Amino acid sequence: MTGKHAGKAWLGVCLASLLTACSQGSGFSDLDKFMTDTRAKPRGHVEPLPEFKAYEAFSYSAADRRAPFEPPVDVQLTMVDDEPVSDIEPDLDRPREVLENFDLKSLAMVGTLQGNEGNLYALVRDNTGGIHRVRTENYMGQNYGRIVGISETRIELIEIVPNGRGGWVERPRSLSLDEG
């Protein structure tokens, strides 16, 4: 070994011993005391997350009833011994249409179609899954319901039902669009 290399080696040994001597001191006693005190303290309690109520979808089931902003239809049946004078009666001589075989509650409006002349047709689904196209003046339901109006969202009907005294009375009904 040469003198230069011996001097560098001696310098490295001195530095290593100096660092070793400095690191053996108790310079971490305050840190060790803090860690011991922290571990000895009682642990805190974290509150659990609040339970949220699951969202429940609202299903509007009064679509086939009278709209709340329309005036109610006043049908008064009074007990009178006299035979009521009414010229309302169903046309029993006309051929029955296909949708007259179904109860009105089992029919659902599922859409509309616009004709070439601008007239509006409604699409009605029966309880067997069949889809029928109807227009005004068609009949549907088991109470001689005649369609008097079709809009984008509902079909307006006039049914002819017995009044309980041997006569007949007209009753307005509607079938709203089934969006489900």
**pLDDT category, 180, cuts 50, 70, 90?**
low
Those residues whose C-beta lies under 8 Å from the C-beta of residue 120, and which sit 6 or more positions away, are: 112, 113, 114, 135, 150, 151, 152
Query: Is residue 179 within 8 Å of 111, Cβ to Cβ?
Result: no
User: Number of C-alpha atoms within 13 angstroms, CB side, residue 34?
Assistant: 4
Residue 81 has pLDDT above 90, yes or no: no
Residues 42-71 pLDDT 10s: 888 888 888 888 888 888 777 777 777 877
**pLDDT category, 77, cuts 50, 70, 90?**
low
Q: pLDDT averaged over the chain?
A: 83
> Which pTM was predicted?
0.52
Q: Is 51 left (phi over 0), alpha (psi -120 to 50) or beta?
A: beta
Burial class (CB in 10 A: 0-12, 13-18, 19+), 83: exposed
Question: What confidence score (pLDDT) does residue 158 get?
Answer: 93
In percent, the amount of the chain with pLDDT more than 90 equals: 33
The full set of domains in the chain, from first to last, is 98-176 (2.30.30.830)
* Helices H / strands E in the chain, number of each: 2, 7
Query: Is residue 129 within 8 Å of 144, Cβ to Cβ?
Result: no
How far, in Å, are 44, 99, 166 from residue 161 at the CA level? 75, 17, 11
Q: Which of these, 108, 172, 161, lies nearest to 134 by C-alpha position?
A: 108
Query: Is residue 100 within 8 Å of 159, Cβ to Cβ?
Result: no
